[in-house]
Amino acid sequence: MAKPIGIFDSGLGGLTVARAIRGAFPAESLVYLGDTARVPYGTRSAGTVVKYAIGCAERLLSFDIKLLVVACNTASGVALGELQARLDIPVVGVIQPGARAGVKATRSGRIGILATAGTVASGAYERAIHSVNDAMSVFARPAPLFVPLAEEGWVTGDVPRLAAQRYLQPLADVDVDTIVLGCTHYPLLSETIHEVAAELLGHDVAIVDSAEATATTLTEMLDTSSNVSAQPGSLQILVTDLPAQFGSAASRFLGKPLQGLDIRAIDL
Ligand code: DGL
How many domains does the chain contain in total? 2
Shared domain for 56 and 165, answered yes or no, is: no
Shared domain for 128 and 192, answered yes or no, is: yes
Shared domain for 60 and 102, answered yes or no, is: no
Shared domain for 12 and 42, answered yes or no, is: yes
Shared domain for 80 and 117, answered yes or no, is: no
Atom of ligand 1 nearest to the CA of 183: 4
41 lines ligand 1 (CB under 6 A): yes
Shared domain for 139 and 247, answered yes or no, is: no
122 lines ligand 1 (CB under 6 A): no
Shared domain for 100 and 203, answered yes or no, is: yes
So which residues are the catalytic ones?
A: 72, 183
Q: Which of 254, 236, 240 is nearest to 39 (CA)?
A: 240
Q: In 38-179, which ranges are continuous DSSP H helix? A: 46-61, 73-86, 95-105, 117-122, 124-132, 146-152, 158-173
Longest alpha-carbon distance in the chain = 53
214 lines ligand 1 (CB under 6 A): no
Q: Taking the alpha carbons of 198, 201, 202, 203 in that order, is the dihedral positive or negative?
A: negative
pLDDT exceeds 70 at position 224: no
The answer to whether residues 41 and 122 touch, using CB atoms and an 8 Å cutoff, is no
Instruction: Give Cα separations from 192 to 40, 74, 242 (angstroms).
Output: 21, 22, 27
Host domain of residue 171: 95-212
Q: Which of 64, 38, 50 is nearest to 236 (CA)?
A: 64
Q: What is the pLDDT of residue 228?
A: 56
Shared domain for 137 and 240, answered yes or no, is: no
Q: What is the pLDDT of residue 152?
A: 83
Q: What is the mean pLDDT of the chain?
A: 93
How does DSSP classify residue 104? H
How does DSSP classify residue 26? T
Shared domain for 164 and 202, answered yes or no, is: yes
Shared domain for 22 and 123, answered yes or no, is: no
Atom of ligand 1 nearest to the CA of 72: 4
8 lines ligand 1 (CB under 6 A): no
Q: Which of 186, 212, 238 is the last residue of a domain?
A: 212
Percent of the chain having pLDDT more than 90?
79
pLDDT exceeds 60 at position 227: no
72 lines ligand 1 (CB under 6 A): yes
For the ranges 6-10, 36-40, 228-232, 243-247, the lowest mean pLDDT is seen at 228-232
Shared domain for 222 and 135, answered yes or no, is: no
Choose which residue among 69, 72, 190 to substitute to test ligand 1 binding: the one with the highest number of ligand atoms within 8 A of its C-beta. Answer: 72
User: Domain with 187 in it: what CATH number?
Assistant: 3.40.50.1860
Q: What is the pLDDT of residue 251?
A: 80
Shared domain for 193 and 229, answered yes or no, is: no
Model confidence at 226, in pLDDT bands (50, 70, 90)? low
- Summarised one tens digit per residue, pLDDT across range 16-65 is 899 999 999 999 999 999 999 999 999 999 999 999 999 999 999 999 99
